[in-house]
Every structure is written in C-alpha cells, then in structure tokens.
Amino acid sequence: MRFQSLQPLPRRRSRRRPSLLAVLTALALALPLTVQAVVPQAQAAPSAVTLVGSLQSELGCAEDWDPACAATAMTDPDSDGLYTMTVLVPAGSWEIKVALDGGWAVSYGADGVQDGANIPLRLAADAELTLSWDVESHRLAVRSSALSGDYDPASDAALVADPAREGTDETFYFVLTDRFANGDPSNDSGGLVGGPEVTGLDPTDKGYYHGGDIAGIIENLDYIQSLGTTAIWLTPSFTNRPVQGTGDNASAGYHGYWITDFTSIDPHLGGNESLAALRDALHARGMRLYLDIITNHTADLIDYAEGQYSYVDTATVPYTDAAGQVVDISAAAGSADFPRLDPATSFPYTPVRTGDVVPDVLNDVSLYHNRGDSTWTGESVTMGDFVGLDDLMTEDPRVVAAFEDIYTAWMDFGVDGFRIDTVKHVNMEFWESWTATIDAHAAATNPDFFTFGEVYDADARKLSPYVRSTGMDATLDFAFQSAAVSFARGYSAQGLSGMFATDDYYTTPTTSAAGLPTFLGNHDMGRVGYLLAGGAVGPETLRRDALAHSLMFLTRGQPVVYYGDEQGFVGVGDGSDKNARQDVFATQVAEYAEQPLVDGTTAGSTDRYDTSSPLYQHISGLAALRAAHPALSTGSQIELYAEDGAGVYAFARVDRHEKVEHLVALNNADEERTVTLTTLTPGATYSSLYGDHAPVTADAQGEVTLTVPALGAVVLVADRTVAAGSPSVTLTGVEGAALSGASAEVAATTTPHRWAETSFSYRELGTQEWTALGTAEDTTPRVFADVSGLPAGTVLELRAVTTDAAGNRAADSALAVVGANLSGTAPDPDASVEVTVPGSHNAAMGCPGDWQPDCAAAALSLDPATGLYTGSFDLPAGTYEYKVAIGGSWEVNYGADGVADGPNITYTTAGGTVTFFYDPVTHLVWNDAGSAGPSAEPSATAAPSATAGATGTPTAAPSASAGPSAEPSATAGATGSPTGVPTAGATAAPSASADPGATGVPTAAATATVVVSVRPGSVSASSGPGATRGGLARTGPGTALLLVVAASLVAGGTIALRRRA
C-alpha cells in the first residue's frame, strides 16, 4: 500500500459502492434493463456501541467480551455517526471488535465485516488511544496522542543517518579470460595431451578454448586501465572439466562454469601463480580484482543409474532419510539436525559418481539434489540440475560449511570481491548463513570487500530481497539493463522513470541502489550492440550504443563494461551465449572474423586493442568525467523530467558534501528536443561539462530550458549550492493503516524542488528504541519496512526526519498497525492495475522492462459498450509475444485461445498503433496487428493449464526482438480464474475467541427491485476482468449473467432481482 495523506478521525461521508456502480453501468449499457429503485431509509442509530474484546477487564469491565459493559461504551456526542472513546490501553496483546445494542446480535470485526474476525491489537507499552467506529463503514479506527511532534534535536538527531554507500565506487571491466589475450601459448592445452576432445583447445571453434589467459590480461593492463577501469571482474577461473558432451553436443569449459576443483585456477588460464601475479599488478595500480564464483553446482560428474534425467518433484517422490522416513529438506534447511540421506534409497534417481571434485567433501553424492534437470519452475528452480550440471544440496549445513571454507580461503588469497553466479537457484537459507560468514571474514581482513549476486530478473522487487535479507552487498542490476537498452532503442523515457522509482526497494540503513553494478549486456544475453537492433549495424546503431553507455556512466550505480563492447563487437547468430564471446586477439573463428562491428565495418582476424576506436574514446571520456565529479559517481539522483514517449530523460546528481547540482539530460529521439524543467537551484547559472550546451540560467522558480541533441546527452553544473529554506516533511497515508510483510511501503512528501535527505525509522508505540529503515535521497522519499517478524496488531509509530542543504530539519510521525487496517477507511479498489498485456512489447509501451504484469503503462480499460477491455499503444516494428494478466501479477493470466496459464501469443507489426482486446468472459485476448481474434467460442480445452506454477525464469527479455519469451507460458503464475463477481460482504464468521453468543446473522439491508428484460443474442460486460468462464455466453439468453450478478448483490443485501417473462 502507498500512504496517501494523514487524516484526522474519519467523519461521516457519502457511501461509495464503486464495484457495484461499475457492474450496473456495464449491465445497463449491455442489456436492456428496467430498473426500479427503492430509496433506502436512513439506518437507525444503534442504542449502544461497545468496544468488546480481551482487554475489557483491564479497562474496568467485570469480564472480557461483554457487549453490555458501560466502561467500554463508545459515544457520538455530535450525532454524526462516528462513535469514539479515549482510553489508556495497557501493554499486551489483545483482540477487539465492536458490538451494537448491548448484545451479540450485531457485531463488526476486521475490515468492518459483520461478525468478522477479531481485530488484533498489540502494545509494547501502555498508551493512550482514541478509537472510533463509523456507523456507515462499520470500520474501527485508532489514533494516539502519544506520537512525537515536530523536530526535537534532543530525540530526533539520533535518527538522522547518512545514506548508505557500499563498495568503493568501481568501474568494472568484465572479461572472459579465454577470449581476451593469449599471453602464454604454453598453457593453451591446460597441460593435457591429445586432441580437442581431451584438451578442450580448438581456436577455430567458438565452443572451445582459444588460448586466452591471465598473462594476456596482465600484458594489456594499460589498455584496460586507460578505458577508465578501476576493477577487473574475471569469468569463473577455477579448474574446469575440459570437455563435456559428445558429438555435436560436445564443447569445452572455456567459460569457467564446469568446476571440478574450487581450490585451484584452471591450468588453461595459467594456474594460481598467474592469478597471484594479476592480483599484485592490479593492486600496484590501485585497481581491484573480482572473481566470479559458483555455489549452485559442479561440473556434470554424477550420472543416474536409471538413465533418465527428467525432473521428479518432491510431491511425486519425496526425500527419505537413511532410515526410510520422509523428510522435508526445505523445512530443515540450515538446521544442525539436517537429515542424513542414503544414495541408494533417498532420491528419485540413484546417483553414480563419474568423476571427482575438490574439495573431497563434495564427492559425497548425497550432498546433491539428484532430482533431474530443472524445468525452471517451482521447486526445480533451486533443486533441479542446471542443464545436467550437478545441483548441490545447499540446504545441507555441510555444503554451506564447505563453501564458507572455500571462499574465505580465496579472500585470504587477496581478491577484492565476488560476483556470485545463479543466486536465485540457491535456497535463501544458504545465502543468509554464507554471506554472514563472508561479511564477518571481510570485517576482519578487508572491510572494503564487496559481493554482488546474479539474480536474472528485471524487477527490483525480486532482486532486492537478496540485498535486504542477506549480507550480499548488491545484485547485478538487470532492471537497469532492461530499461537502459529499451531507452537506447528509442522507447519511452517513462520506462526509465518507472525503473528508477523502484530503487527505493534497495534502501536500508546499509544498502542502496547506488552500489548496484549496472550493465548493458553480457556473455549470456548478448552484447548491447546486438540487443539495440537485433544485429543490424551502422551509424545509428553506433550512436545508440554510445547513448546507452552515456546513460550507464551518468546514472547511479557502478558501471560494468563487457569486454569488446569498447571495440564495437556486436555478435553473430542469435547474438547470445557463445555468439557474444568473441576474441579480442586475432580470431581463428570464421564467424567472428566475418561479423560486422557496430559501425558496419567488418571485424576481421586481427588484434583489437584500438584505443582510438569510437566507443573506446566515448567510454573512456565518460569514465574520466565520472571520476572527476563525485556527484556523477556517488551522488544522489533526483528525476526532473521524463518524456511520455521517445525524447528527454533528465535528472540532477548532487554530491552530499559539495551540494552542487549537476544537471544531466539524455535524448533517445532521432531529432533534438527542447524541454523546460524545474531544477534544484533557483537563480543558478549552469555551464556545460559534457555535450557543449550553452550556459543557461534558472529563473526564480528554478526553471531552465535545455536543448538536447538527437541520440545525445548533456551535463551542466550549477555555479552555486542547491537551494535550502524551510524544510517540511509529511508522512503520506492514512493514520492507522496496515503494514505487512517484508517490504511494507513507508513514504513521505518534502518541500518540492529542494534537495533533502530523509531518514525513516519506526518504534513500537510508547517505547524508546527506534528501528532505522534507511535514508532516502530524492524529492519523493520512500523506504520499505520489514515488519514480517512483528506480531499482527502491533501498533507502530513511524518517524521521518528530513534535512535540507543548510542542515535545517523537520520531522513527522504517523501511526501504523502491523497486519490490521485500523485507519477507519477501506483501501481504494481503483488503486491497482486490473488488466494488463505483459509481454516482450512492454518496454516499448513505457514499462521499466518486458513481461511486467503490474505495469500501468500496459493496462487495458473496460469499454462498457462492448464489455471488452481495450488499449491502444504506439509500437515500433517487430515481432512480439504477450499474454493478458489480471490483478497486476502472474497469479491469474491467459494466453492463446483464452487458456489459463496458456502459451504466449505472437504477433508482428510494421510499426504504429496496435489495439489490444480482452474478453473477460471467454478470456480470449487479441489485437488488430495480426494475433488471432475470437472466431468462435473457445473450446472446452480452455481450462487452467497443468503447467502453472511459480516463475523460475527472468521477467524481462533483453529486447523486443523476436525470440523466446522471458516469461514462458509454462512458468506463469498460479492457476485458475477468480470468482465471477465479488460477494458484497465477507463471509467470515466471528472468531472462536468471540463471545459464543455471537449469532452471525447479518443486519437487514435496504433493497431495490431490478426488472431485467433479456433479448437473445445480446452481449454484456462481465462482472470483472477475471470472471469465471461460463458466467455469460457471448450468445444466448444471458440467464447465467443474471444469476452470477444476482447471487453477488443479493448476498450483500443490496438488490433483489426478478426476471421478466
């Protein structure tokens, strides 16, 4: 939830029934209806309103749960329908509700539901509370006079904290060692004798070793450092199985992911001695060394006796311990009494070791999952073999301990950080334990040691938990990669705006988005030069490639340059995997030699360490600019302008010590754009640092006008510090609103167009100890609180303290309740996205990335005249895949032929406006660009798919070009469609702790008569976007619709229906 505004106690207000109105509007437009309304009579005031619950005896009643007790009676002195009481509530855990008329005939519980569940209320200290109950909404609200007031230096100064900064502000060069430079031909065969099938060496085959080594990197350190690099990140370098597979499926371990010895560097790369030499050479230059590490799997050294490799889930064949008892390894993960398993009986397959691993502890085949190849869905995400690679049982503490020993030893070797592979394919308990050990060792040996994980997902909500809940310093910023490439392709600047808005998920007292390594492409998904145009090259692709790098170097995060991008490498074939792993030294691979570079010239078979190449010059210039201006590297980032469509994205970067605004604007349109925006420094004159923009002066309100060249960027710097002035801060939202889960949103508003830092905290009401939530650095401050460990009903005081550029401060507090809405108001049913078309076109629609079911930019709207949800979008030419999602998640989605969790739908457009249609009755979805529309009623096979399950693949694809969906239909979220029409009231009975005299009989309600005439063949709107199929046929009498609607509305006591003959 997002807090909207602090409000006083709720007052009497007009009754709203938005869902009912929407249904009746749709019915009226779609069916000829005759409606006779019976005006409801005013509801009689109750003779008594009593707060009842387990705390009544503490408040002066003879016993708890007494609806006749005068001591907890609520009053309405001004007869406005709002009953209140103010009382000192003792510390403790309580349950409450409201009873009317001195008995249990009518009572209201959680969310204003008649005979609803008891409301939890927990106080850590005695506190005076004002409780109110609204006769119309039936909801209970809570307020407190115990909240802190305005800023008080004596108590609030301690709540102010610096924004978090992790790492040492690197510019990374990510290099695939085998493909960069051959400094020592004597190690090309790795000390092995034989042909390529033995040594893995074949420089003519892109799937084998080519001879590059660590010595070659050392020889070219001048080239790497002159690019602006401060740290080198090597692909996995440990000893690998030289060759895996047979025949056409055979290839070599040149990439480093088939590890057989975690304690030594592969002889093909030069061994441990070469790595030590590189370490020393880098440290002598003030540079750092990062290793790519793996904990998820080893090389394929375990076979299954059965000769079968399909995944077998634990529901079909559960694990059993050595005694034959069924065990749940997920529940036991990390525990000291983790069960011992028997290789002969505990697994669905019988593991047989075919080769050894170092260290020896990992040779025990019972330390592997042994369930077959992952399907990338459900439990197989963390338990399945990684395309045949042996998946370690990381739930077992012995595996955890082994990897703690392995990688603390490499820390002692002198490396400066780890990039951690396949993080989301390992259980969270492993990361919690392992990162704690790594952090403790770093604190004792190298406090600047930095770790970042690969979580292949373009959604900060899925990336950030690995930062928030473990000791990992950061994750690779796949969300940035997706949005940056989309922007550079010419998609809407709103995509960047949406992506950067999710930076708040990373804000904690020790972490922030500033530490995220940002990148544009890699050895898996492909190079940015390919992703920008699907392999098309030429002057425009070169300019867009440069624009993408400008964005990466001028925004927050730690930029990563993928080796060879600075030479304009693009890629061959589909552009991914081995097609993006070219040789920088003279290649012997014909495909690599014949490929075009991004500017259209042919790569050829020649060494490519050209420091005068256009992209090398561009990147090195950006790196120098960033290094010279701390604001551009570690400063805060405040959005100032985002065009709705292709065009300008502008923001300010401000170093918290200098407090000077650096104004950055990028333009992804193919013509120059002029924009007017409001800066943070009224009256300042801005001079150009980059892009040759003429000086501009802000007016008294801070407005300036910038002209940004086509596919270009400008950076200007102000001649004075950012403006200060009377700071203000207001926590946004409704007092008493519910917070829940590990990422409960807490937001505030501050003085517009003024730089500020806002520190957030919470404490249990009435206590003295605050829990810090983090410090926000922009003009829309927001953090996310982890309240998952607090009992439901815990009453919290939220606190925000903001500091402006002059050091002036302001503060505000608000009340919140864990897991219970005691605001007195209902959540806005219109606040969430209802129907969207997630797909590989989302970035082009203005979403932060592709395959995002909750993106408002991809939302469809209900057309009452047709009953269909529709939306039109301006899309570039291309082939796309998509589905329709309900409720902003993958939980309910429909694909081809209206099948729940069905296949993706493919279409091709020549470019221009594409209109999408979704029928909420049949669940068919189509568009006017060529995807199949509803030619007939869907067949009986349009049922929920058996393949539904939790997603295991990334939710963002690298580009909108045709290709495999990043959210395959098989990985769509859970199953069946929702019910047709929501009931008018919750059906929960009073909880067991309520007085046994509670009857559960609903109050009488006013009625209306609706007389409906139905004409055969009519078409009507359904009751909702995910209405159950069969609620209304597209042809026929429409009786089913009446039954569905009537059942809902009559159940709520709202209307009565009768059908005219």
> Which residues form the catalytic set?
421, 454
Q: Positive or negative CA dihedral for 356, 415, 481, 835? A: positive
Packed helices 1039-1051 and 18-30: angle between N→C axes, nearest 10 degrees: 160
Measure Cα distances from 449 to 274, 401, 988 in Å. 21, 20, 53
d(CA 966, CA 482): 12
d(CA 421, CA 414): 20
Q: In terms of Cα–Cα distance, which of 804, 954, 12, 993 is closest to 456?
A: 954
Between the two ends of the chain, the Cα-to-Cα distance in Å is 47
DSSP 326-348: EE-TTTTTT-TTPPP--TTTSSS
Q: In terms of Cα–Cα distance, which of 557, 689, 546 is closest to 620?
A: 546
Q: Record the tokens describing residue 305, joined without a space.
A: 């006796």
Q: What is the 3-state secondary structure (H, E, C) of 628-687?
A: HCHHHHCCEEEEEEECCCCCEEEEEEECCCCCEEEEEEEECCCCCEEEEEECCCCCCEEE
Q: Are 152 and 121 in contact (CB under 8 A)?
A: no
Q: Positive or negative CA dihedral for 896, 900, 902, 908? A: positive
d(CA 128, CA 292): 55
Backbone dihedral region of 458: left (phi > 0), alpha (psi from -120 to 50 degrees) or beta?
alpha
Residues 6+ apart with CB under 8 A from 27: 33, 1012, 1020, 1021, 1041, 1045
d(CA 329, CA 320): 9
Residues 6+ apart with CB under 8 A from 443: none
Q: What's the burial of 766, exposed, middle or buried (CB within 10 Å: 0-12/13-18/19+)?
A: middle
The secondary structure of residue 596, as a DSSP letter, is: B
Q: Record the tokens describing residue 86, joined without a space.
A: 């103010």
d(CA 680, CA 723): 6
DSSP 781-848: -EEEE--TTSPTTBEEEEEEEEEETTS-EEEEEEEEEET---BSS---TTSS--EE--BTTHHHHT-S
Helices (H) and strands (E) in the chain, counts: 20, 52
Packed helices 428-445 and 397-413: angle between N→C axes, nearest 10 degrees: 30
d(CA 270, CA 347): 39
Q: Which residue has the tokens 């008569």?
A: 1009
d(CA 692, CA 715): 9
Other CB atoms closer than 10 Å to residue 877's CB: what's the count? Answer: 10
DSSP 190-247: TT--SSHHHH-B-TTSTTSB----HHHHHHTHHHHHHTT-SEEEESP-EEE-SEES-G
Q: Are 682 and 718 in contact (CB under 8 A)?
A: no
Residues 6+ apart with CB under 8 A from 369: 347, 383, 384, 385, 391, 392, 393
d(CA 588, CA 256): 21
DSSP 868-911: EEEEEEEE-SEEEEE-EEETTSSSEEE-GGG-BT-PPEEEEESS
